[in-house]
């Protein structure tokens, strides 16, 4: 087993750069520091430092070990702070996963209200919906915003809340007048992996629209520019094109009204998920206010 004291001596020596400086900081003799480091090297069966005339230089194994001890001792400091002070004073990290489809289709102001949460530091990452749910179950995320409802969520110990339904609208540059069947229209479509593609497909089939597929993309900003500057038509969230329509860069040609893509918030259902629940409440209130 690793000795915590050995790790501490190593970490301080790596931080200070010399045995003398580490000994002074730790309040021990230089031979003590050297012996503790050697004991750790024997336990790990690697050399952690190259001894040079100017001090200690981390080896490749030493750099890897230092990365781990940095995380470990930082966590220890946070633990001491949490136990020694009121938890209401120390900000908590909220690990939020946003599925690629949600991130690329909704306006950025959808998640910005999370930045206003008190005593909370949201840490965002994106990924596939299935992967984000897996990370939730592994306790590597606190909250996931996804475009599909994980049907077996209760069995997995997860709560699911419908946050929003996305209004997809077809947009093109001002002056464009598509034929009734849209055969003269070039459409930049969603990729086959996007849940939004099938909502658009259903809309096109229902209305007998047969545009030419000019390309595929899931990035909402690219779709907006393809419509505004490329002369194409694209289906994007109404909130994403709000400003572009208001300033005359784009016009709305139609909307997907029969089915609306959804955004779900998924989080663990335990008592420790209080911050995630608060975040969901904030997002839901924001959506409700912007839909008025």
Residue 87, pLDDT above cutoff 50:
no
> 157-161, 211-215, 246-250 — which is least confidently predicted?
157-161
Higher-confidence position of 147 and 216: 216
Segments making up each domain of the chain, as ranges: 4-84, 94-165+262-290, 168-255
| pLDDT score recorded for residue 41 | 93
Confidence of residue 89 (pLDDT cuts 50, 70, 90): low
Highest mean pLDDT among 204-218, 252-266, 277-291: 204-218
Give the H/E segment covering residue 213.
Answer: strand 212-216
CATH number of 168-255: 3.40.190.10
Residue 38, pLDDT above cutoff 80:
yes
Residue 51, pLDDT above cutoff 90:
no
Per residue in 197-247, pLDDT (tens digit) is 888 998 999 999 999 999 998 788 889 999 998 889 999 888 788 888 999
Q: Three-state DSSP class for 151? A: coil
Q: Does domain 4-84 match CATH 1.10.10.10? A: yes
When pLDDT is averaged across residues 90-110 and rounded to a whole number, the result is: 74
**Is 162:194 a contact under the CB 8 Å cutoff?**
no
Q: Tokens at residue 96, please?
A: 């939020």
Per residue in 101-126, pLDDT (tens digit) is 777 667 666 788 888 887 788 888 88
CATH number of 94-165+262-290: 3.40.190.10
Chain-centroid distance of CA 248 in Å reads 33
Residue 260, pLDDT above cutoff 50:
yes
Entry pTM: 0.57
Confidence of residue 90 (pLDDT cuts 50, 70, 90): low
Confidence of residue 36 (pLDDT cuts 50, 70, 90): very high
Helix locations, 58-160, DSSP H: 60-84, 100-105, 129-137
Question: Is it true that 4-84 and 94-165+262-290 share their CATH fold?
Answer: no
């Amino acid at each position: 087993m690793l000795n915590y004291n050995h790790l501490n001596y190593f970490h301080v020596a790596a931080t200070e750069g010399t045995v003398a400086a580490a000994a002074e900081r730790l309040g021990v003799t230089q031979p003590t520091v050297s012996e503790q480091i050697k004991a750790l090297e024997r336990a790990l069966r690697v050399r952690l430092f190259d001894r040079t005339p100017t001090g200690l230089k981390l080896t490749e194994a030493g750099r890897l070990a230092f990365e781990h001890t940095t995380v470990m001792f930082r966590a220890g400091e946070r633990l001491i702070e949490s136990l020694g002070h009121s938890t209401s004073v120390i900000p908590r990290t909220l690990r939020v996963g946003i599925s690629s489809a949600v991130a690329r289709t909704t306006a950025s102001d959808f998640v910005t209200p999370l930045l206003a949460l008190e005593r909370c530091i949201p840490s965002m990452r994106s990924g596939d919906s299935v992967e984000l749910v897996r990370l939730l179950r592994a306790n590597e995320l606190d909250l996931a915003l996804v475009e599909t409802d994980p049907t077996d969520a209760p069995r997995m110990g997860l709560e699911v809340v419908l946050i929003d339904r996305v209004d997809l609208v077809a947009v093109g540059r001002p002056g464009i007048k598509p034929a009734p069947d849209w055969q003269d229209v070039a459409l930049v479509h969603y990729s086959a992996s996007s849940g939004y593609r099938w909502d658009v497909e259903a809309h096109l089939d229902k209305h007998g629209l047969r545009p030419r597929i000019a390309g595929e993309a899931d990035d909402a900003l690219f779709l907006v520019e393809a419509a505004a500057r490329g002369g194409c038509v694209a289906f994007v969230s109404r909130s994403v094109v709000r400003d572009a329509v208001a300033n005359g860069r784009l016009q709305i040609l139609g909307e997907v009204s029969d089915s609306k893509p959804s955004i779900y918030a998924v989080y663990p259902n335990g008592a420790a998920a209080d911050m995630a629940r608060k975040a969901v409440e904030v997002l839901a209130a924001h959506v409700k206010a912007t839909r008025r």
